[in-house]
Structure 1
Amino acid sequence: MKDILTIIFRLTLSCLLAAAVMGTCFVFTNNAKKHNEHVKEQEVRYQLLGYSKTNPPPASMAMHEM
């Protein structure tokens, strides 16, 4: 019985530590992920309008989200 309680305790502790590590990584990388998604969407929008690296959009052009 003592072995079962030890196993349960160790599994619970390891799961809590893993959740803490995953949560910390999410907190630190979430803003970068959102920024990268925004930049990628903006590039796709410009490409759909016919702009590219060789034909850049004018500086006065801006994309707004609704």
Structure 2
Amino acid sequence: MASENLVLRSGNWHVRLSIPKDVRHILNRTEFTESLKTGSKAEAQVKKLAFLQIWKQLIANA
């Protein structure tokens, strides 16, 4: 499984997604980040999918 959207911070995995430059001014941010509240990379791989789906839809709508 790919882990390009996962970052390990202080023992907990976080999911992140960079926002394209052309919609940053609409969403008023440069990236989305959220703690997955787990130290398990395998569990983080599953949990990240829900966040990525929501965030990608927000970007598409913007």
Same fold at TM > 0.5: no
| TM tier, smaller | 0.3 to 0.5
Give the structure-1-normalised TM-score: 0.31
The structure showing larger relative contact order (alpha-carbon pairs under 8 Å, at least 6 residues apart) is 2
- The structure number with the bigger radius of gyration is 1
Q: TM-score, normalised by structure 2?
A: 0.33
